[in-house]
Structure 1
Amino acid sequence: MIPIDVASKRGETIPVPSRPAKRMQAIPLAVEGGWASPAPGPVTVGLPFPAGMLANPGGLSLRDPDGRPATLQARTLARWPDGSAKWVLLDFIATQDPERRAAWSLELRTADPARAEATPLRVAQADGAIEVDTGAVVFRLDRSTFPLAGARVGGEDVLDPGSTSAVLVDRSGRPRPPRVEALAMEEAGPVRVTVRVEGGFPGRSPCRFLARLCFFAGTGLVRLRFTVVNPRRPRHPGGLWDLGDPGSIRFRDLSLSVGLSGPGEAALSWSAEEGQPPRSAPGGPLEIYQDSSGGEHWQSRNHVDYLGRIPVAFRGYRLRLGGIEERGLRAEPIVSIRGPLGQLTAAMPEFWHQFPKAVEADGRALRLRLFPGQAVGDFELQGGEQKTHSAWLHVGPPGTTPIDPLGWARRPARAFASPDWYAKSGAVPYLTAPPSIPSPRTDALLGGILDGDRSLPTRRETVDEYGWRHFGEVHADHEEAYYDGPRPIVSHYNNQYDMVLGFAVHALRTADARWADLLDALARHVIDIDIYHTDRDKAAYNGGLFWHTDHYRDAASSTHRSFSSANRPPGRDYGGGPSNEHNYTTGLLHYHYLTGDPQARDAVLSLADWVVGMDDGSRNVLGVVDDGPTGLASQTAEADYHGPGRGAGNSVNALLDAWLLTREPGYLAKAEELIRRVVHPEDDLPALDLLDAERRWSYTVFLSVLSRYLALKAEAGEVDPVYAYAQAALVHYARWMAEHEAPYLDHPDRLEYPTETWAAQDLRKANILRLASAHADEPLRPAMLRKADALGDRAWADLTGFPSRDVARSVALVMLEGLREEHLRRRPPDAAPRPAFDCPTGPPSAFRGQKRRVFDQLKRPGGLIVASVRIADPTRWVRYLDWRRAVPARRPPR
């Protein structure tokens, strides 16, 4: 084995900040546990820092509640333009206390920040294998045995490789063992080591998988996150995305097994639910199987399968030990087996939430059934769908107290700085920290979101928004307003107005773990289920994000993919797929900053790459004639409309997020290309008919993103000609808004559905005017602010007048736009930088998409000749076919 100095893996080349460093005071960190346990548990949290404060996170130190130094791992996730740390990921080990928030303290060391932390964690690699020595256990990973090839405790091999396996059972009942193709150390530090494993299950169910195993200093803990992916494309005939598509993969079971070495049968201990004391037995077999959510609506048609069945057999879970069977509603099991050489304990977070699940103990082995064969019927992983399951393992000596090593795993600790720290860091724009900037209207409307009969957790129960595909989703209760089917409507909110970002912002401004719980569940759902994880479909869809399910219709068997054959109206076009109008990335970006989750980072980049790909005219057959931009990234509502709208706005926003993650100039250049395509400082605004609410309401989404673009460019010190162009365009549109805009509900007759959402949308108008005022001079600036106040007051009055003011769509808007409106009302933005040069623009020119350009060309005699010559050019076909052949090349799952 070749030893690797773990501390040295943390080294970075740090740019020297261009501004004087701010003095860092001690930062209190509140660590909140939800379950009393004498065993330590890992804590991972992202923390923002003000610009210029922290050059090197290696200089940070941590003290526990008793003032003792604690081992800390710190890694920069994002930097300010001056090179200082903006977001830092912290890892440390803490004990749990459900009764109080333990007060930890983060400080900046005065000693040499480059010195290594004292840590027992060591890593070695040789011959394709990796050994991780945590100081308590030496774990071994290789390609022949997954998930673990071995574990030594006190020099003894306590795991049996013959009992350790991962198996997918196909529809015919044949086991398909995994083929590990890549094994690599992804991250190493003094607290945590992460090993990434990639491979596939060959055969009739050719799933891909990605696993990340984390090991923690001084412990026998292993965190396993296992993602199974169907990389195939569905056929989606007519743009319909029902279960049962030929591109789906169906299988019977997917399980992981880990066994103890040594003679005889292992002693058994378990606790099936939180609050239940541990129970013991001399041996097994033990089965704890969760068949349904256990809730009142456990048989909801939300769970319908491709055969039209609701594949649940009974309410809750069953526990079988030998010939004895017990029943319960919601299991959160911890199971432990103890042999002569060691003890193995396992827990599966969200066991009942993400049913069906099973954990079994038999002889000397634990089996974790991620997709259990006990369930009714097959499991269907749709084309481009993936699912990530998590499990905790603990390996220890035989004297370990049963259950205790993972007693905290049901409610892992969360760490928060103060809301004031988050606000003052400047890392999240317009973040308010009560009571310094009160937000009474927002807080009043959101007052029941966490508790009570109208809380989001309570609303989950309405349609049983649980199960491996649904948990984390928000029930779209606003869709009931014009729904004439059986109640409640099964409708999924999915992706509209970035509810992930809303949850993140409110978790920071309140330091309330309940907001963080909502954030965590929804972000993981979006990453797994809502993103289209394939590169084998057309460029317009590959890697994209699916819409919310169809308005005022039951989701039927489309799950979270918008269009179902059950809803197809006779004699009308119907259907579609991922589109630029529902591409939300900023919440996922901040989820990555707050958790370090690499899947969230990859999701943001995937969605930005989708924008680039969908607009690349060379990636479809029309590119043989015209390989210019398709226009799919900039269109909104209509194929030929490339003015300001949510389609272009969301595309630009995704590209900005990818630029923030990578600082790759190509992302910013593409964003600026779209800005110049969509708006112009001399646009004929009456001709755009922006007051046509049904067709053009979302122009405000684009202007909001344009404001963000200007702020990010100014922050980066890039006040260049494109900045000047965008600034002039924003002021041009905002001047028109100040003169002509009115509340939507002034003319309800112009609205197809005059709901509370229109009032909430008016909040964005007020915010745009305030943001644009930073770029305007007298007398326009005060006029904009007066109009913003009037629109904001009217929006709140209209919104609170609706009994349905707190439905999901309204909540999504108020979490962000409402909070921003109250912040900007009290603190209007400072004047933005002005370029020291005139902005040369030229007259506006209308953009035409690829299809329109080709169609117009083929109508002209000369154009037809040019097209014929291009079609006959073999080099154009070679380029297109090369791209098509490259599509099925398997990328590592993200």
Structure 2
Amino acid sequence: MKRTIILLIFSLGIISSLAHAGQAVIRLEEPVGLDRTGWPVGLGFPFAKGELKDLTSLVALAPDSRPLPLQAKILSRWPDGSIRWAHVLFLADMKRQAVAEWRLEWNTGAKPPAVPDQNRVRVDEKSGKIAVTNGDLAVAFSMGGANLIDSVKVKGREALDPSRKNGLMIKTPDGKTFEAPSGKTVRLTVEESGPLRAIVRTEGQHLAPSGEALFDYYARFIFYAGEPWFEVEYSFTNGEAAESTAIAALTLALPLAPSRAPYLGLTSEYKIDKYYEFREPFSIYSGADDFFGVFGGAKIFKADGTEIVGPGYESEARARWWADSSTSEGGLTVSIQEMSQNYPKAVRVAPDRVDIDLYPAGEKKPLAFHQGWQKTHTMLLYFHGGSGLDAGSRDLCFKWQAAVIPWSPYHVESGLLGDLFPYSPKKYPMIERAIRDGFIHYETGVGRGLIDYGDTMGPGTGERGSFTQNNAYDTSWVCYLLFLRTGERRYWQRGRSAALHTADIDIVHHSTRTPVEVGGVRIHGPNHVQYNAEAIVGTSVAPNHEWVEGLIMTYHLTGEERYLKLAEGMAEHILRARQAGWISPGYNAKWNGARNLAWPILVLTMVYDETGNARYREGAAAIVRDLGSIQRENGSFPITIGPYIASAPLHETIAMEALGRYQAVTRDPAAKDIYMKCAEYVVGGASFPDGEMMYITHPDYRSGYTSTPWGGFHFGYVYTGDKKFLEFPYPLIMRQLRQSRFELYRTSFATSEGALSYPMRGILFYLNFADKAGILQDLPAY
């Protein structure tokens, strides 16, 4: 009897320990038409409070249920210490064009197998040097060397020429040359070390022989288990005193080890199955007239500058953004991520070297790089034995350029992303079609070029004709939400490019005008920079045009810590901006209103929710009190046009979204009270008799405002159960969806400010509540 009781207690213990077991399906699609073996795949996953205590409970399973080696890291925790977000990396074997399902499981008692010794990544760090080994590949770095990479060996053979310098070189129009590294000590760290992936980071400044410095930089070297190639992410920041600095050329120089064997230069087409072989130097070049997308590629030039041309229209000779220099002993293959989209770019290939031109010499004019900008490039380096043909360089580059993008329905189905409208092509096919069509219209307005890529451009006429939009209303966040609903890779690609543009160009990384703006997002303006906007003199940011969710989501899904740091930097900027008087009344300009407080509330709330830093919650609470202090008796917030005190329903709805989301995180009852007064006003008296909302209630501004952030209305329904908060915006939202053009001021979709993100940041949540309340109907077929 005693033995039975003990066994029963033991069994109940096992059952209890597995009671919270869970799993997430991970769908992988091979997108380029080539088999992949051991291909690195990574994605961030959320977990409910208390569900996952440590990473050892995670296991990844292949489609045949075989457990796989796994590398995971914690991204954030719940207040009780349990894991809230974790990034998971595993290696996948995939058949060409196949779609299959992997699984992530937790708390099942299963454990992932170890990485085979011959494939695992090893990092050795000592005495200012770091060595990374990975199968046949061995790469060394040094804090005090004159080279970016000390040594690369493939099966023991040195691939770089130790007698010549490798590294980065910037040339300015006045003839100066700045190199990185320059022989002086740089900061060298191991950012990540695991059996499947290791990341080495070096950072410093580009220096001239005189000691003059230009631009801070960092370079991250990313190695994967069993892969003979690695990635280089290079980023430079303009922290100079001048408003803009001119760049004549920017190159990563890679001199190759000497060889007496015959040289073969190599690149290839993508649209047709064709190699281009060279016995002399050649280059590939992407410029403003380059193609990109499915049939994209760079122009090809011989050593004498003659372009290799195809037979005619749609048959042009184009290199698929890769090039190789090798002999029978070995060589180097390189590729630039999104080379054409980030033009101008070039790769120059010779028997003894490969030069990657991130800004080629000889452009029509130097690159004007504004103070506070940053720019990040990612490149593939594949040092190999034998020729590029023997090493499979073409297939590797095709696969690397077309990333495998993992998707899981778990993110939405778990409810851990909030009340996001689930993908409903069977129940609401026309609504889903309208959302997709709206995204396609948005894509046509995405800019190209080293500075513009990832942003949308102004319409070309009027006061804002030259404006770039700086991803207003958080384009990356909206694109990620669309991706997580559907798994469509184009949504992911646009989200990533928008997030990178925000991180590089839109955020102020340095300022000599005012330290308050550092960390903030610049307001839309000509060439991404507008000073004195919203009457805040001497700055290029405006707190009523700053958003943070896309940065946080990028961190959650990719595990790249840079984006979390940028989000925290934005929160710090908002705190400084409030102290400087940029946010709360009295305003810098009389026409500012509730959105001047609302968007900053949301920034601080989201970063507090991510980090638990009480300073951000306290800052948000203070701004909420400021908002309540100016609320009028009718529930609106004042906006002054001349001597006329009006209200702006646009601003009211922004405040509704911010208050609702702040209250959901903090449970502050004051926010709910302010919200309800405002929502009653908007529903009851902020529209024309036909139901369309006014822009501003001033007699000369009573025009219709087609797009309004709809993310705040459902909180009124949640608080009260009254469907009027859903019924009021319903006809306006459905009209927008029916048009598939989420317009502002009735301008063209592709170029109007925040035309995708402005309404969709709210519609994607509103539709979920409208469906649950029974008022949502599909659009008519079109």
TM class by smaller structure: 0.7 to 0.9
* Among candidates 215, 222, 242, match of residue 223 of structure 2: 215
Q: How is 1:73-88 mapped onto 2 (pairs within 5 angstroms)?
A: 73-88=71-86
- Number of aligned residues: 721
* One-letter amino acid of the structure 1 residue matched with residue 51 of structure 2: M
Amino acid at match of 2:225: A
Output the CA distance in 1 between the equivalents of 2:18 and 2:214. Answer: 53
Q: CA deviation at 1:588?
A: 1.4
Residues 228, 388 of structure 1: 8 Å contact kept: yes
**2:582 corresponds to which residue?**
632
Asked whether the equivalents of residues 536 and 582 of structure 2 are also in contact (C-alpha less than 8 Å), the reply is: no
Task: Kindly indicate whether residue 736 of structure 2 is the aligned counterpart of residue 772 of structure 1.
Answer: no
CA contact (8 A) 1:343 1:396 kept: yes
* Partner residue in 2 for 1:561: 529
- d(CA) in 1 for partners of 2:542, 2:565: 19
- 2-structure distance, mates of 1:55, 1:816: 32
Q: Distance in 1 between matches of 2:278 and 2:328?
A: 13
Other-structure match for 1:35 = 32
Correspondence for 2:486: 510
Aligned position for 2:340: 352
Deviating more after overlay: 48-57 vs 600-609: 48-57
Alpha-carbon distance in 2 for matches of 1:813, 1:437: 26
Distance 1:197 1:282 in 2: 35
Q: Partners of 1:268 and 1:163 in 2: how far apart?
A: 23
CA distance in 2 between partners of 1:803 and 1:518 (Å): 18
Identity percentage over the alignment?
20
Which moves more between the two structures, 58-67 or 670-679? 58-67
Amino acid of the residue matched to residue 141 of structure 1? F
Which amino acid is 2:223 matched to? Answer: F
Cross-structure match for 1:700: 653
Q: For 2:306 and 2:741, locate their aligned partners in 1 and report how far apart those are by CA, in whole Å.
A: 51
Residues 51 and 425 in structure 1, CA contact (< 8 A), matched pair in contact too: no
Matches within 5 A, 1:620-769: 630-635=580-585, 638-639=588-589, 645-679=594-628, 684-685=633-634, 688-689=637-638, 695=648, 697-714=650-667, 723-742=668-687, 745=692, 758-761=705-708, 764=710, 767-769=711-713
Q: How many Å separate the matches in 1 of 2:84 and 2:536? A: 48
Distance 2:466 2:268 in 1: 31
Report deviation, 1:712: 1.4
- 2:777 is matched with which residue? none
Deviation at 1:118, TM superposition (A): 4.9
Of 598, 610, 622 in structure 1, the residue corresponding to residue 561 of structure 2 is: 598
Contact kept, 8 Å, 1:39 with 1:404, in 2: the verdict is no
Amino acid paired to 2:422: A
My pick for the range that moved more, 61-70 or 586-595, is 61-70
SS at match of 2:140: strand
Q: Given the alignment of the two structures, is residue 423 of structure 1 paired with residue 393 of structure 2, yes or no?
A: no
1:610 pairs, out of 573, 582, 594, with: 573
**CA 1:318 to 1:642, structure 2 compared with 1: closer, same or farther past 3 Å?**
closer
**Native 8 Å contact 1:268 1:335 kept in 2:** no
Alignment of 1:345-384 (within 5 A): 345-384=333-372
Task: Determine the structure 2 residue equivalent to 1:101.
Answer: 99
Alpha-carbon distance between aligned partners in 2 of 1:573 and 1:675, rounded to the nearest angstrom: 21
Report the residue type matching 1:53 in the other structure: E
Offset, 1:414: 0.7
SS class of match (1:456): helix
**C-alpha distance in 2, partners of 1:798/1:517?**
25
Q: What is the match of residue 473 of structure 1?
A: 455
Task: Report matched runs for 1:40-439 at 5 Å.
Answer: 40=37, 41-95=39-93, 97=95, 99-108=97-106, 110-111=108-109, 118=116, 120-143=120-143, 144-161=145-162, 162=164, 164-179=166-181, 181-203=186-208, 206-233=214-241, 246-264=242-260, 267-277=263-273, 279=275, 281=277, 283-294=279-290, 317-321=299-303, 324-327=306-309, 328=316, 331-339=319-327, 341-398=329-386, 400-418=391-409, 421-435=410-424
Report the AA paired with residue 605 of structure 1: E
Q: CA deviation at 1:217?
A: 0.9
Q: How does 1:543-582 map to 2 (within 5 A)?
A: 543-549=519-525, 558-562=526-530, 577-582=540-545
- 1:615 match: secondary structure: helix
C-alpha displacement of 1:133: 1.2
The separation in 1 between residues aligned to 2:426 and 2:541, in whole angstroms, is: 39
Higher relative contact order (CA 8 A, sep 6+): 1
C-alpha contact 1:269 1:278 (8 A) present in aligned 2: no
Q: Which moved more, 1:694-703 or 1:284-293?
A: 694-703
Query: 1:63-97: CA deviations, max 9, x gaps?
Result: 33344433221112123344333322122233565
Q: CA deviation at 1:659?
A: 1.9
| Cα distance between partner residues in 2 of 1:548 and 1:186 | 34
Residue 412 of structure 1 and its aligned partner are, at CA, apart by 1.3
**Aligned match of 1:821 in 757, 766, 771?**
766
TM-score, normalization: structure 1? 0.74
How much does 1:430 deviate?
1.7
For residues 446 and 282 of structure 1, do their structure 2 counterparts lie closer, same or farther at Cα, with a shift above 3 Å needed?
closer
Q: Give the 3 Å change call, closer, same or farther, for CA 20–468 of structure 1 in structure 2.
A: same
The CA deviation at 1:615 is 2.6
How far 1:587 sits from its partner (Å)?
1.4
Task: Identify the range of structure 1 (252-261 vs 513-522) with the bigger mean alpha-carbon deviation.
Answer: 252-261
Is the Cα contact below 8 Å between 2:434 and 2:739 reproduced in 1? no
Partner letter of residue 206 of structure 2? F
Distance 1:371 1:632 in 2: 37
Quick one: which amino acid aligns to residue 427 of structure 1? L
Which range is displaced more, 137-146 or 630-639? Answer: 630-639
Whichever residue aligns with residue 21 of structure 2, its letter is M
- Assess if the C-alpha contact under 8 Å between 1:158 and 1:341 holds in 2: no
Deviation at 1:646, TM superposition (A): 1.6
Which letter maps to 1:413? V
The one-letter code matched in structure 2 to 1:48 is P
Paired residue type of 2:555: H
- For 1:456, the equivalent position in structure 2 comes to 442
Q: Deviations over 1:586-620 (max 9, x none)?
A: 1111111111223322221121111122233xxxx
8 Å contact kept, 1:539–1:614: no
Task: Return 5+ residue gaps in structure 1 as ranges.
Answer: 1-18, 234-245, 297-314, 550-557, 617-629, 715-722, 776-780, 830-894
Contact kept in structure 2, 1:199 and 1:208, CA below 8 Å: yes
- Give SS of 1:198's match: strand
Question: Which amino acid is the alignment partner of residue 730 of structure 2?
Answer: G
1:354 positional shift: 0.7
Structure-1 separation of matches of 2:290 and 2:515: 41
Distance 1:268 1:39 in 2: 26
- Residues 802 and 516 of structure 1: CA distance in aligned 2, closer, same or farther (over 3 Å): closer
Partner of 2:730: 792
Q: Compared with structure 1, are the counterparts of its residues 804 and 450 closer, same or farther at alpha carbon in structure 2 (3 Å cutoff)?
A: closer
Where structure 2 has 5 or more consecutive residues not aligned to the other structure, the ranges are 1-15, 310-315, 775-782
* Gap change, CA 1:814 and 1:444, over 3 Å in 2: farther
> For 1:176, what is the secondary structure of its paired residue?
strand
1:435 CA drift (Å) = 2.9
Structure 1 residue 200: deviation in Å?
0.8
